[in-house]
Amino acid sequence: MSLIAEDIRVSYGRHEALRGVSLAARPGEVTAVVGPNGSGKSTLLGAMTATQPYRGRVLLNGADIASAKPWELAAQRAVLPQASRLAFPFSVIEVVRIGLHSGTAGDRAEVPMQALARVGLSHYAERSFHELSGGEAQRVMLARVLAQVWRPVEDGTPRWLFLDEPVSSLDIAHQLQVMEIARAFARAGGGVIAVMHDLNLTALFADRVAILAAGRRLAFGAPAEVLTDDILSRAYGCALRVSAPPPDGVPYILPHAASA
Amino acid sequence: MTAIVDSAPRTRDRLSRARALHWILAGALLLACAASLQVGATNVTLTDLLAKAMRGDALSQIERVVLLDIRLPRLAMGGLVGAALAVSGAAMQGLFRNPLADPGIVGVGAGAGLGAILAIVLGAFLPAWLLGLTGNYLTPFAAFLGGWGSTILLYRVSTRHGSTSVATMLLAGIALGALAGALSGILVYIADDRQLRDLTFWGLGSLAGASWAKVLAAGPMIALAIGAALMLGRGLNGLALGEATAAHIGIDVQRMKSVAILAVAAATGVAVAVSGGIGFIGIVVPHLLRLASGPDHRTLLLNAALLGAILLILADVIARVVVAPAELPIGIVTAVLGAPVFLWILLTRRGLVES
């Protein structure tokens, strides 16, 4: 029961966005995917969620996603896109309910409100989604995604959350809140794959980190193993210094002098 | 309709309000039907006929003909066409993710019209056995094909990577309408006198030619299209979040889109084939309903069918009454009522076009 991506290749016309990336994520862990702009992070997430065509193989809980029906996948995993635009004036609670359909845990009447409470927005339930700020909209979308896979483990099978830059439009308090939610989902037995920009948040919350550069996997392992001066400087093409002070030794990353 | 002015919609009751609206609209539809049977060029009225029936008197021959062969088929046709136009408007808006998409505005109606004109003008050249086989269905079916082709073309042109450009959609609709109009013009040019008469009659946008034969030819296809559209509720709700998210929540997006396009084309095509150009029902009805009870397509589509039928039946009553004993083309009535609403939508929600 895990998520396995094998030798994923994606091309946009002549441009090869992914040149054979493999990844294995375990339930119970937050797996972060980091890398510079254009390194293929979101493309990899798109392939693993069957959002875009790819070559290679993706196994979700042991089944090839290429031959699974959309509703079978929807019962096993939920996907938070980078940005969401809504076509009609649905209210917040209606948006959270859109993802639900008969047969999944989130169908129970109380789940959407609980999911909204989880992201701290239950008082916004009746508001129009279009009136929300960018950050609030992003948290409502997280609530929608949470409601879809409300129980991290169902019938002994882990559920999966795919998050594409989940904190990009959030203030620092809500960045922490959202990452706490992701970690809690993983600690309860579910699996989380998150595309991340912020290396320090990644170091704080990820159990394993995949570093992509130019469509290839540069490194994959625990944060302390792969978030190093050498690997990061190679990945991002600029000088970065990693420190890991006591007491807990979580690495934090600082830009080096610009000319160094 | 008082619900429309409610300025603080609470969504928990929005769904139940939408469901209550099913029943309110169904009741209003019955009233509209009664009104439609009541008035007309002759002074036969429904109330007289009911009184007669209560007394046990037999209806006269004229009364039978007026009621059964003129007003009832016209009523049935009006209801079917109104429901078809409103539902295809709502479905198309869901599909294109924009409340301004309407088959009449973006050229699908023109494409369907081209199909219908093709069938009227070139139908005469078809072999006799084929004509015998298709019978009354030829024009509606050709209009459906015309509408289908233009919907697919429009979607291809205006949608890239799952998101629809509104500006491209509207501009492509203008081009599509112009092209269909030009081709229709060529066909009119080569048509003979009898066909011209048919074309003029058809192009007025009227229910005046309604007969049971036409109702039977158009009815099943319209009913099928409406039925298919009513199944799209959850899918169109998902599509409101974009194609990728719709797929992520378990919707077979490609199949849903194909069904939506077929249903829109069939409903619009057949409605255009039997009634000519009747505009604005498809844009006004869903818009009013979204204001009244929210955008949830699971209830919106059925309510649109009901309100569309009501509005077209009432528009037909107006068309018959205002210049009696003559008749206004019903397209004029719906345009006079509908165009200002369309402008009002643009005025109050300008962001729609820029997005």
For chain A, give every domain's residue range: 3-255
pLDDT tens, residue by residue, B276-313: 778 789 989 999 999 888 999 999 999 999 999 999 99
State whether A90 and B295 contact (CB < 8 Å).
yes
pLDDT at B315: 92
Decide if pLDDT at B7 tops 50: no
Q: Which residues of A touch B238 (CB under 8 A)?
A: 98-99
Cβ contact B103:B229 at 8 Å: no
State whether B9 and A73 contact (CB < 8 Å).
no
Separation between Cα atoms, residue B17 and residue B6, nearest integer Å: 12
Tell me the residue type at A240: L
A87 close contact with B: CB closer than 8 A: yes
Residues A177-193 have a mean pLDDT of: 96
Q: Cis omega before residue B340 (within 30°)?
A: no
Structure letter (DSSP) for residue B117: H
Separation between Cα atoms, residue B178 and residue A237, nearest integer Å: 54
Nearest CB to A87 within list B240, B251, B294: B240
Distance from CA of A82 to the nearest CA of B (A): 11
Cβ contact A145:A77 at 8 Å: no
Query: Which one is predicted more confidently, B134 or B112?
Result: B112
**Would you give the distance in Å from CA B279 to the centre of its chain?**
8
pLDDT at B1: 37
Structure letter (DSSP) for residue B134: H
Q: Strands, E, within chain A: which ranges? A: 3-12, 15-25, 30-34, 55-60, 63-64, 77-80, 153-154, 157-158, 160-164, 191-195, 208-213, 216-221, 240-243, 252-255
- 3-state percent breakdown (helix, strand, coil) of chain B, nearest 5: 80, 0, 20
Q: Which residues of A touch B247 (CB under 8 A)?
A: 50-51, 70
Q: Which residues of B touch A79 (CB under 8 A)?
A: 244-245, 248
Dmax of chain A from CA atoms? 58
Nearest Cα residue to A233 out of A222, A225, A242: A242
B237 close contact with A: CB closer than 8 A: yes
Nearest CB to A70 within list B97, B163, B247: B247
How would residue B9 be classed by pLDDT, with cut points 50, 70 and 90? very low
Q: Nearest-CA residue of chain B relative to A75?
A: B250
B234 close contact with A: CB closer than 8 A: yes
Separation between Cα atoms, residue A221 and residue A208, nearest integer Å: 5
Decide if pLDDT at B353 tops 70: no
B243 close contact with A: CB closer than 8 A: no
b/e sequence A250-260, b meaning 16+ C-beta within 10 Å: ebebeeeeeee
Nearest CB to A148 within list B12, B249, B253: B249
A71 close contact with B: CB closer than 8 A: yes
What CATH architecture applies to the domain B2-354?
Answer: Orthogonal Bundle (1.10)
pLDDT tens, residue by residue, A28-81: 999 999 999 989 999 999 999 998 899 999 999 999 999 999 989 999 999 999
Q: What is the mean pLDDT of chain A?
A: 89
Query: Which one is predicted more confidently, B197 or A168?
Result: A168
Q: Nearest-CA residue of chain A relative to B251?
A: A70
Separation between Cα atoms, residue A225 and residue B96, nearest integer Å: 48
Query: Which one is predicted more confidently, B48 or A213?
Result: A213
Determine the residue among B11, B96, B239 to mutate to test chain A binding: the one whose Cβ has the most chain A Cβ atoms within 10 Å: B11
How would residue A17 be classed by pLDDT, with cut points 50, 70 and 90? very high
- To 10 degrees, the CA torsion angle through B33, B37, B38, B42? 160
Residues B49-54 have a mean pLDDT of: 83
Q: Which residues of A touch B97 (CB under 8 A)?
A: 87-88
Separation between Cα atoms, residue B335 and residue B262, nearest integer Å: 26
A84 close contact with B: CB closer than 8 A: yes
Q: In what order do the strands lie in the sheet with A3-12?
A: A15-25, A3-12, A55-60, A63-64
pLDDT at B3: 40
Q: Nearest-CA residue of chain B relative to A147?
A: B249
Residues 118-157 of B with CB under 8 A from A: none
Residues ≥6 apart with Cβ < 8 Å to B118: B142, B146, B187
B245 close contact with A: CB closer than 8 A: yes
Separation between Cα atoms, residue A193 and residue B114, nearest integer Å: 52
Cβ contact B240:B97 at 8 Å: yes
Write out the two tokens for B181: 């109009």
Separation between Cα atoms, residue B146 and residue B344, nearest integer Å: 30
**Would you give the distance in Å from CA A226 to the centre of its chain?**
19
State whether B249 and A98 contact (CB < 8 Å).
yes
pLDDT tens, residue by residue, B113-141: 888 888 888 877 777 777 777 777 788 88
One DSSP character per residue, A151-202 reads SSEETTEE-EEEEESTTTT--HHHHHHHHHHHHHHHHTT-EEEEE-S-HHHH
Residues B261-273 have a mean pLDDT of: 87
Separation between Cα atoms, residue B133 and residue A11, nearest integer Å: 51
Nearest Cα residue to B110 out of B52, B53, B177, B175: B177
Distance from CA of A8 to the nearest CA of B (A): 19
pLDDT at B276: 77
Instruction: Kindly tell me the burial class for residue B256, based on how many C-beta atoms sit within 10 Å of its own C-beta (0-12, 13-18, 19 or more).
Output: buried
Residues ≥6 apart with Cβ < 8 Å to A92: A116, A121, A124, A125, A126, A127, A128, A129, A132, A140
> For residue A118, what are the CA distances in angstroms to A93, A123, A147, A180?
13, 12, 10, 11
Residues B266-277 have a mean pLDDT of: 84
Q: Nearest-CA residue of chain A relative to B98?
A: A87
Tell me the residue type at A233: S
Write out the two tokens for B302: 């059925």
Decide if pLDDT at B5 tops 50: no
Nearest CB to A79 within list B237, B248, B253: B248
> What are the start-end ranges of the H helices in B123-248?
128-134, 138-158, 166-190, 193-203, 212-230, 233-239, 243-248
State whether A69 and B296 contact (CB < 8 Å).
no
The label of the residue with tokens 């909204």 reads A116
pLDDT at A138: 94
Residues B326-352 have a mean pLDDT of: 79
Write out the two tokens for B161: 């990577």
Please tell me whether residue B328 adopts helix, strand or coil conformation.
coil
How would residue B162 be classed by pLDDT, with cut points 50, 70 and 90? low
One DSSP character per residue, B44-67 reads --HHHHHHHHHHTPPPPHHHHIII
CATH number for the domain running over A3-255: 3.40.50.300
Instruction: Return the H-helix or E-strand segment holding B20.
Output: helix B11-38
Q: Nearest-CA residue of chain A relative to B298?
A: A98
State whether A74 and B250 contact (CB < 8 Å).
yes
Separation between Cα atoms, residue B242 and residue B343, nearest integer Å: 27
Decide if pLDDT at A259 tops 50: no
**Pairing between strand B159-160 and A153-154?**
unpaired
Residues 156-175 of B with CB under 8 A from A: 163
How would residue B100 be classed by pLDDT, with cut points 50, 70 and 90? confident
Instruction: Return the H-helix or E-strand segment holding B260.
Output: helix B253-275
Decide if pLDDT at A11 tops 80: yes
The label of the residue with tokens 């009870």 reads B293
